[in-house]
Amino acid sequence: MSQKVLEVNALESEAIYILREVVAQFERPVLLFSGGKDSITLVRLAQKAFYPAKIPFPLLHIDTGHNFPETIEFRDKLVKELGVELIVRNVQDNIDKGRVKEEKGRYASRNILQTETLLDTIEEFDFDACIGGARRDEEKARAKERIFSVRDDFGQWDEKNQRPELFDMLNGRIELGQNVRVFPISNWTELDVWSYIEKEQLEIPSIYFAHKRKTFLRDGFIWSANDEFVYRDEYEEITERIVRFRTVGDMSCTAAVISDATTIEKVVEEIRDSSISERGARIDDSRSEAAMEKRKQQGYF
Amino acid sequence: MGLLKIATAGSVDDGKSTLIGRLLYDTKSLTTDKLKAIEEKSKQRGFDYLDFSLATDGLIAEREQGITIDVAHIYFSTPNKSFIIADTPGHIEYTRNMVTGASTAQASIILIDARNGVVEQTYRHFFINNLLKIKEVIVAVNKMDLVNFSEEKFQNIKNEIEYLATKSDFKKEQITFIPISALKGDNVVEKSTQIPWYQGETLLHHLEKIDTTLTSDHAKARFPVQTVIRPKTTDYHDFRAYAGKIYGGDFSVGDEVIVLPSLTKSTIKNIYFFDQEFDKATSGSSVSITLTDDVNISRGDMIVKVDETPTISKDLEATICWMDKEPLEVSQKYYLKHGVNDVQAKITNLSTILHTDFSGLEENPSKLTLNQIGDVQLKVSKSLFFDSYKQHKYNGAFILINPKTNNTVGVGFIK
């Protein structure tokens, strides 16, 4: 008999362990799902953690309304295939109610507006744990975050007073009103995520692959030309380019990169050789040195 | 290709962040946009060099004060290996964050400023490495350029640490000494031309050579049950598997096992990982297991091999590192988390406070304050199944949680 030995993929096993801790320690967890590569990876890990049982928590999409249509299409297909519950809450609703104010002008983005809708939704459903696909290699404030990150009832992160996190022991004890943001793939790098998607042959939205798109240039970034969502001055000229997206955020703050990677293998190769960081294409992070930390203090993911 | 987890330690201004920045820079792991940001900020601050600490000190307060407050996790890889470095603070008041960063590390880099030599903080860092049983320690004697690359200065530091090591559990071969200049790049990634008397490897070369299979645990197999998987669907109507992560050793189908605390004997029937079945799974795998017998198992229980049972007791002795402003006092109650097991605990005795310079003990203290390390006896509300930390890292450590604040206030290493 040939022995079939499970070789450890340490990062995968760690993430599965974390997801199981969430379900064991919390009453009402939810997985934040944007349709991007990191949350797609999380969904796969959640599937593995509880198989053959179904994923024991719903997915939540805070919809900015400025999504790439390909991502939404993909989201709905995935949810249907997995038979999990999807909750969608719209930033637009809070704009309509006048609770948040939309930015205007050249760099307008709805990214920051998500926080308000997220906090409302946490309150609406009484979620005590929100699982997210953030990684410590993304940004230097993220590099400081714990795997179980406690937030107060305003969603605030107290970065100077975090709980020590030792060995594998995750302390999920919280008071009423607090909740925990959980980051199972904290220790993964962008390349780890792409390699995993390749190994697992996961489906991802088509915008991650090179395609022809109407774009314009500003400040060295390639913007998707979409007159409805993305502000453009008349002199900013629209050109068709072969591009792909490295990260999928709000259309108004996610820049494209020139690429001919049409398969997942080619994407992995491209990331391996890239000299630009993933967040280099997120326009909202270059606003100031502490942009991410400040957003997180206010309850942003 | 392996993954090596490293913790750094050093006093303030010893250059930890600079060293990490240098490692990233010289291995071409800093992307152009991050490098550009460092260049711009360095210039803005009027430095005539690149301040690499700007890459790792991610919090506003850290950049304001120019010190590292909390652990940052930094990732980089070479063609041979991937690395996760926990950049931990050197400041005495952030010792708890240093323990946090070091708790998962297989190797540790202790930085010493060649001008100052071994200082109190060095003792403390060495003591904590010893307490945590880190497998490999690298003493990087930094700022060699500021002491004219003096062999004598280096040798004095080496002698002092080697003497210190005789009071610890470290064996000589577990400690490597490397003279470096993080700012100038000597012996970090590139071999220094300024230090001809040093015949050893560069820091990166040494890190690449550390055998990650040797630094991982070869302890007895422990399978703490995190959760029970019961799909209750038509296809899997009677399916019941125990999900958890294997710590130490391995488990195979057919292994005779004992379930703790019920002491029920059974045999491993299947080992699953997602939709695949395996005959054997090794340490570190998050699998699910079924048994041949119908045993009542719930979260917190533990599956072990028949001839490898741990200690089962309500009383334990441990060394504790205290991490909270409110001191530990005898007869106080805490939640104790041992792996995935939660119990209530009472400190019955605080016998000694350990001096982190290995100089001795303070007998019968009344309390243990923030960042102090001491020996205690505890009583817990439900029997725990544990090993000594020396024999089993995972099964020999626990955390204490203050029931009033829910904060993690201490970490314990079982004797």
| Whether residues A40 and A153 fall in one domain | yes
Instruction: Assess if residue A2 is contained within a domain.
Output: no
Considering only CA atoms, which of B302, B258, B253 is closest in space to residue B280?
B253
Q: How far apart are CA A12 and CA A26, in angstroms?
A: 21
| Whether residues A221 and A252 fall in one domain | yes
Instruction: Assess if residue A5 is contained within a domain.
Output: no
| Contact between chains at A8 and B284 (C-beta distance less than 8 A) | yes
pTM of the model as a whole:
0.93
Q: For position B340, what pLDDT does the model report? A: 96
Express each pLDDT in B90-136 by its tens digit: 676 677 878 888 898 999 999 999 999 999 889 888 999 999 999 89
Min CA distance, B156 vs chain A (Å)?
A: 34
Instruction: Assess if residue A127 is contained within a domain.
Output: yes
B381-393 mean pLDDT: 95
| Whether residues A239 and A254 fall in one domain | yes
Nearest neighbour of A280 by CB, restricted to B33, B72, B235: B33
CATH assignment at residue A181 = 3.40.50.620
| Whether residues A100 and A235 fall in one domain | no
| Whether residues A91 and A196 fall in one domain | yes
| Whether residues A161 and A77 fall in one domain | yes
If pLDDT is split at 50, 70 and 90, which confidence band does A43 have? very high
Chain A residues with CB under 8 Å of B272 CB are: 51
Taking 60 as the threshold, does the pLDDT of residue A287 lie above it? no
Would an 8 Å CB–CB cutoff place A273 in contact with chain B? no
Would an 8 Å CB–CB cutoff place B349 in contact with chain A? no
Instruction: Assess if residue A137 is contained within a domain.
Output: yes
| Whether residues A243 and A294 fall in one domain | no
CB half-sphere exposure, B89, CA atoms < 13 A: 22
A251: Cβ–Cβ under 8 A, 6 or more apart, which residues? A66, A67, A68, A224, A226, A229, A230
Considering only CA atoms, which of B248, B239, B240, B244 is closest in space to residue B220?
B248
Percent of chain B residues topping a pLDDT of 90: 65
| Whether residues A165 and A46 fall in one domain | yes
B55-79 mean pLDDT: 74
Chain A residues with CB under 8 Å of B36 CB are: none
Q: For position A109, what pLDDT does the model report? A: 74
Instruction: Assess if residue A4 is contained within a domain.
Output: no
Quote the number of domains for chain A. 2
| Contact between chains at B397 and A276 (C-beta distance less than 8 A) | no
Place of tokens 């990150």: A149
| Whether residues A158 and A225 fall in one domain | no
| Whether residues A42 and A162 fall in one domain | yes
Q: How far apart are CA B343 and CA A286, in angstroms?
A: 46
Cross-strand partners of B286: B245
| Whether residues A163 and A273 fall in one domain | no
Express each pLDDT in B50-60 by its tens digit: 777 777 766 66
If pLDDT is split at 50, 70 and 90, which confidence band does B1 have? low
Could you tell me if the ipTM is greater than 0.90?
yes
Would an 8 Å CB–CB cutoff place A21 in contact with chain B? yes
| Mean pLDDT rounded to a whole number for chain B | 90
Residue type, A107: Y
Domain that holds residue A152: 10-201+289-298
Instruction: Assess if residue A88 is contained within a domain.
Output: yes
Chain B residues with CB under 8 Å of A186 CB are: 73
| Contact between chains at A144 and B407 (C-beta distance less than 8 A) | no
B180-189 mean pLDDT: 94
If pLDDT is split at 50, 70 and 90, which confidence band does A294 have? low
Considering only CA atoms, which of B409, B410, B401 is closest in space to residue B375?
B410
| Whether residues A94 and A159 fall in one domain | yes
Complete domains list, chain B, with CATH:
2-209 (3.40.50.300), 223-305 (2.40.30.10), 311-414 (2.40.30.10)
Q: For position A248, what pLDDT does the model report? A: 80
Q: For position A161, what pLDDT does the model report? A: 77
Nearest neighbour of B72 by CB, restricted to A140, A164, A294: A140
Instruction: Assess if residue A1 is contained within a domain.
Output: no
A274-290 mean pLDDT: 61
Instruction: Assess if residue A3 is contained within a domain.
Output: no
